[in-house]
Chain A
Amino acid sequence: MTDEPSGRNLDGDAPVAEAVVETEEATITEDAELERTIGLTGGLAIGIGTMIGAGIFVFPGLAGGEIGTAASASFAVGGLIALLVALPTSELATAMPRSGGGYYFISRGLGTLAGTVIGLSLWLGLVFATAFYLVGLGYYALDALAQVGVTVGVGTDALVSAIAVFAGVAFTVLNVTGTENAAKLQNAIVALLLSMLVAFLGYGLLEAFGFVAVDTPPGQAVDVWEAVPILSVAALVFTSYLGFAQVATVAGEMKDPGRNLPLAMVGSVLIVTVLYVLTIFIATNIFTRDALLSAGETAMVEVGRALLGPAGALVIIVGGLLATMSSANASILSTSRAIYGVSKDALLPRWASRINLRYGTPHVALGMAGGPVIVLAATGQVQLLAEVASFLHLIMYGLMCVALVAIRRDRPEWYDPDFVVPGGPVVPVLGALASFGLIAFMDRLSIAVGVAVIAVTAGWYFYYARDVSLKGAL
């Protein structure tokens, strides 16, 4: 097994490889240093900020509408799978604290074909996820308009798509031209969201256990406590958990990565799982299935109204707007890192990661993120977008678990993780089985689209980067 990546792509470029020294404060290359500037709070904000967005504000209506209170179990299943993947990811990330995340681990652990497929489908998976967040944003913006008295009678779907497309263009342009550091803003938004949710959930729990009485609309439909519906809803809502692995894409920028990476990943999964399960529990407690179903994507607004009156509805609308925006923005940022990781290894043309000196931003990569996002957002297909995003991520999550087992077996000389998942191969094997297993419960169409994306990325490998070898390199 070689230590260096080798081979050339169709353009004749070889992967960039240099000896680097990682310290807790910086990455030191031959001629330069890269400062590590993200602390534990920043890492948690990336994880929570990406995850909490659309999932909690868009899915209660869809998931609760299908199986009622049993949807809490779906979210718990999703959280468990996320945790099973977050632990192996943490081990890999502390051994390879580089930008690129899942792509990096899989290309090193399983070789170039798997790496190309995952690198490119991570990019496209993020594109699908971002489009989903933007459509969610569209629904909330529409509700906000309704709240201030602007009602739109006809063409609701078209308007949602229009808002989503507009937001997609705005985010892309802002990311290319904005040199202000939005990280602090992101932290503040996450803190605000968390406090709003905690207050809201606290009140909701009081209601659920009968301390406060709220008029719950009448309904007849009963909850569906059966394994298959619960798992298929889990497959749908798993998009709410795409985010903890995004922490790994900024692994190269985390201070003290050996400690902060595992804490940020596992911590953010635990926090959002608790919030999700409680939210669904409360939402399905107040409304029965049919009521949730008719309220649709913004059912949470009605839940807020039922609990706290117009103020509650307003809180949820503002929260929904902020959350979907922060998810979309964080995902666009991760996308440009995913593209960079692939392009550095010569699996995409080198120009894909160019930076313009005027703004100092990777405009090509951001364009490659924003362009397809806008096209997909225009479709307005919430369920399809969410499931394809989940599909592509779940493939990556499963393969990350496999990569961990493979790397542990091969034991390259450099492999020395600060954090080791206890229990030998049990957790990664369960994580892989759970990730792949969940895919089986998805909608047929979503699976077909996902498989098509994978096939195209594999085709790209055979066309462009067949001769590049990455396995086992650092």
Chain B
Amino acid sequence: MTRVLVPVAVLERESVSPGLISLLGTVDVTLLGYHVLPEQTPPDQARLQFEERATAALEDLREDFAAAGGEADHRLVFTRDREQTVQRVAAEVDADAFAVTGAVGDVDRLLVSLSGDVDVDRVLSFVERLVGDREVGVTLFLAAGAGSPADAAADAPEGTAPDDADRARLEAAADRLREAGVEATTELAESGSPFDALIDAAAGHDAVVMAERAPSFRSLVFGDEGERVAAASVGPVIVVRDAESDASAAGTRTGREE
């Protein structure tokens, strides 16, 4: 079964918009309530004081998700490092993707980014399961030159026309979705920064689906890419986890008593 992890800073009054809840109605959801603590505060101390109200808030949210369709459960973590917590819990519950919450109403159209060195098959199969038999359209997006690892920046000087390989890749992906009964169009960004092009394209869509990428220098400086897209596009972002990070994280998983 497909599972999406939804991290929510419950004690910071963060919530999940109704649009995202209904969008995730086709999949199972693990709500990850988290609270990032300043270093002055022993985590156990915060837990004693805030556990009850955080759990109550999570339970309410969980009921909303369960009412929308899928299975839903919740976990609560006190941490100093949000990223580390999201990665650990995602690996433990074997989540296919995690969501970055954002404001949205009903979701009619998704923007699915295939830019970069991503596992297209994994992303598309997730999108198929997410959309299911609902009337949700998909725009497949690819930034030129960011297509595959082979044509890295060195091979494709800036401003070159999008090559046929990129276009073919997009069309193949669209065909696959159409076969699965999902209405799909394509959009190829011909120039400029892939990130800006993605934000521009996101304007006409309700939510963004993208693939997780290996940490880079840029993600160290500016933060996680999914977070940045969510911040710039306002709407929710669903980040499909990398199969590799899945495997490596599962390897270090430690016994958890159920």
B77 touches A181 (CB 8 A): no
| Alpha-carbon distance A418/B119, docked complex (angstroms) | 41
Q: Please name the residue on chain A nearest to B34 by beta carbon.
A: A35
- Could you say which residues of chain B place their CB within 8 Å of the CB of A35? 43, 77-81, 84-85, 88
A37 touches B81 (CB 8 A): yes
- Could you say which residues of chain A place their CB within 8 Å of the CB of B76? 31-33
Minimum Cβ distance to chain B for residue A364 (Å): 11
Contacts A/B (CB < 8 Å), 6 sampled? A32-B77, A336-B40, A355-B41, A355-B45, A357-B50, A361-B41
* Extra pairs beyond A32-B54, A179-B38 (5, CB < 8 Å): A26-B77, A26-B88, A183-B80, A252-B42, A353-B48
| 7 A-B pairs with the lowest CB-CB distances in the bound complex, closest first | A35-B79, A23-B254, A32-B76, A34-B43, A37-B80, A33-B77, A37-B81
- Could you say which residues of chain A place their CB within 8 Å of the CB of B43? 27, 34-35, 99, 252-253
| Total B residues in contact with A, Cβ cutoff 8 Å | 34
- Could you say which residues of chain A place their CB within 8 Å of the CB of B48? 16, 344, 353
Contact of A357 among B11, B44, B47, B88 (CB under 8 A): B11
Question: In B46-101, which residues have CB < 8 Å from any A CB?
Answer: 46-51, 54-55, 75-81, 84-85, 88
The prevalent SS among residues of B at the interface is mixed
- Could you say which residues of chain A place their CB within 8 Å of the CB of B49? 354-355
Q: Is B164 an interface residue (CB 8 A)?
A: no
B40 touches A28 (CB 8 A): no
Contact of B254 among A25, A337, A353 (CB under 8 A): A25
| Alpha-carbon distance A307/B38, docked complex (angstroms) | 41
Q: Is A239 an interface residue (CB 8 A)?
A: no
Q: Is B37 an interface residue (CB 8 A)?
A: yes
Q: Is A51 an interface residue (CB 8 A)?
A: no
In the complex, per-residue mask of A172-205: 1 if CB is within 8 Å of any chain B CB, else 0: 0001101111110000000000000000000000
Q: Is B256 an interface residue (CB 8 A)?
A: yes
- Could you say which residues of chain B place their CB within 8 Å of the CB of A176? 40
Which A positions have Cβ atoms within 8 angstroms of B? 16, 21, 23-29, 31-35, 37, 98-99, 175-176, 178-183, 252-253, 333, 336-337, 340, 344, 353-355, 357, 359-362, 366
Q: Is B244 an interface residue (CB 8 A)?
A: no
B37 touches A360 (CB 8 A): yes
Q: Is B121 an interface residue (CB 8 A)?
A: no
B45 touches A183 (CB 8 A): no
Q: Please name the residue on chain B nearest to A337 by beta carbon.
A: B42
- Could you say which residues of chain A place their CB within 8 Å of the CB of B35? 360
B41 touches A362 (CB 8 A): yes
| Alpha-carbon distance A376/B81, docked complex (angstroms) | 36
B254 touches A333 (CB 8 A): no
| Alpha-carbon distance A106/B84, docked complex (angstroms) | 33
* CB within 8 Å for A361 and B256 given contacts A34-B78, A37-B84: no
| Alpha-carbon distance A253/B252, docked complex (angstroms) | 18
Q: Is B255 an interface residue (CB 8 A)?
A: yes
| Alpha-carbon distance A403/B45, docked complex (angstroms) | 25
Q: Is B155 an interface residue (CB 8 A)?
A: no
* CB within 8 Å for A33 and B46 given contacts A181-B38, A183-B39, A253-B80: no
B44 touches A99 (CB 8 A): yes
Q: Please name the residue on chain A nearest to B51 by beta carbon.
A: A32
- Could you say which residues of chain B place their CB within 8 Å of the CB of A28? 256-257
Minimum Cβ distance to chain B for residue A143 (Å): 30
